[in-house]
Amino acid sequence: MHVTFTEEELAFQEEARNFFQNELPEDIRQKRSQGVPLERDDYIRFQKCLFEKGWAGYNWPVEYGGTGWTIVQKYIFATEMAAADAPDIIPFGLGMVGPIIYTYGTEEQKERFLPDILASNVWWCQGYSEPGSGSDLASLKTRADRSGDHYLLNGTKTWTTLGQHADWIFVLARTATDVARRQEGISFLLVDMKSPGVTVKPIITLDGAHEVNEIHFDNVEVPLDNLVGEEGKGWTYGKVLLQHERTGTAGVARTKYRLAKLKQQAATSVRGAEPLAADRNFMRKIAATEVELKALEFTELRTLAAVASGKAPGPESSILKFKGTELQQAVDALYLEAAGYYALPYVPDQYAFDFPQQERVGEGTETQASLRYFNFRKASIYGGSNEIQKNIVAKHVLGL
C-alpha cells in the first residue's frame, strides 16, 4: 500500500501544519513540551480553536457540522496534529456520543445536543464499566426503571475518565431483566451530571493523578426523552460506540511522533557521553517497533477507507485497538529504558522547569518516563481488554 498526495492534499497538509504552528495557544504548547498536565480549560480552548476553524467534527457528516474530509485528509490531519504535539481531542463527546446521537437519536436530540458537542460547550464522560463488570460488560447491574415520565437510575459506574470535569454522561443501564440474553434489555441514556443523586468519587492512580472516578447514581431522575434509540437496544449502540473508540485508540500518529522524538534524542550526545544510538541492541528494538507501527498504519488506513465509504468501523477495529495499544506500551518501555535510573524516584511537583530541554528523555523530565509507563498499562484494558479483542478478531475476522 502506498500513500501519494495530490496537489490539493499537499495544500491541505500545509494548511494543517500552519494551523497547528500558529493557532495552538503558546501556553498549551509550553505545557506540552515541559510535561505539565493540562487543565480542563486547556483542552476546551484547543478544541474551540478547531471548532472556529471548522475542523472540530473532522469525522462527522457535513449535515451535522462535520468537515466532509476524505480519508487522506483525516490521515493528514491526525499526522500533523501529532507532529505539532497538540493535545489529544477529548473523545467522549466528539468521538463517541456525538456519532451515536446523529446516527440513532431523534431530531430533537440532535438539535439539542450536537451543536454544543461540536463547539465543546459541554464536556461528556462515559458510563460503561462497573465494579465487577468491565470486560464482561453485558453483566452490568446499573438499572433504569420507568417511573412516569422519567427513569429512576440506580447503580455505580467506575473508571470514568475525567468524569470530575463532565457536564453530561452517557450510560448503559439495564431497563429489563426478563430477557433471553444478557445483552438484551440494556438501554443507552443521556444523564445530566448536575442531577440530584449523582455522586462523583475520585480514584487516584499510581502516578498520583486524579484521572478516573467512580460515579454513583441514587434514584437519579432521567427524562424518557433522554433515551437514545429504542429501549433495550443499548447494547447495539454501545458496540458501535466501542468500535469508534477502538479505532481512535490505535493512536498511530501519536506513537509515530513519540518514536521519532525518541530516535532524535537517542542520536544526541548529552554532557559529552556517547549517544544512546551507539547501543545497537536499543536501536534494533526501535527498528522492530517502527516496522510493526508501519504495518498498523496501513491497517488503520484500510479501516478508515471503509468508514469513508459509509460503513461503521467493523471487527477490524479490534486489531487497531490491541495492536495499537501494545505498540504504545512498547514505546513507553523504550522511553523507560532510555531514561535508565533517572526514571526514578519521582516527586509529583518536580517538573524541573530549569532542566535543559535537550537533556530530557521523553515528555518532560526523565522521571516522567516511569509515570507514563505505569499509567499506560491501562491501555491494554480500556475500550475492551486486548484479550477480548483477540477473541473478536479470531471469530469475526479470521473465522476461527
Question: Is the sign of the CA dihedral 1, 99, 176, 201 positive or negative?
Answer: positive
Number of domains, the chain: 3
Strand partners, 228: 188
Same domain, 296 and 348: yes
* Residue 238: inside a domain: no
Residue holding cell 532542566?
355
Domain that holds residue 282: 250-397
Res 367: pLDDT: 64
Residue holding cell 431483566?
177
Same domain, 316 and 376: yes
- What's the CATH number where 213 sits? 2.40.110.10
* Residue 176: inside a domain: yes
Phi, psi dihedrals of residue 32, rounded to the nearest 5°: -60, -45
- Complete DSSP assignment for 291-353: HHHHHHHHHHHHHHHHHHTTPPP-TTHHHHHHHHHHHHHHHHHHHHHHHGGGG----TT---T
Same domain, 206 and 271: no
Amino acid, res. 207: D
Rounded distance, CA 86 to CA 13, Å? 15
Mean pLDDT by 10 residues, the chain (400 residues): 78 97 95 87 97 94 92 90 94 94 97 98 96 83 96 97 97 91 92 98 87 97 98 90 64 91 88 86 96 89 67 71 91 91 61 44 61 84 79 81
Chain center to CA of 357? 27
Same domain, 220 and 340: no
Give CA separation, 328 vs 47, 79, 362, 372, in Å: 24, 16, 13, 10
Torsion of CA 287, 291, 292, 294, to 10 degrees: 130
Rounded distance, CA 297 to CA 302, Å? 9
Contact 273, 125 (CB under 8 A): no
Res 250: pLDDT: 77
Res 303: pLDDT: 72
Same domain, 255 and 342: yes
Contact 168, 191 (CB under 8 A): yes
pTM: 0.84
First-to-last CA distance in the chain? 27
Contact 333, 312 (CB under 8 A): no
Last residue of a domain, one of 37, 71, 89: 89
Residue holding cell 505539532?
84
Element spanning 9, H or E: helix 7-23
- What's the CATH number where 296 sits? 1.20.140.10
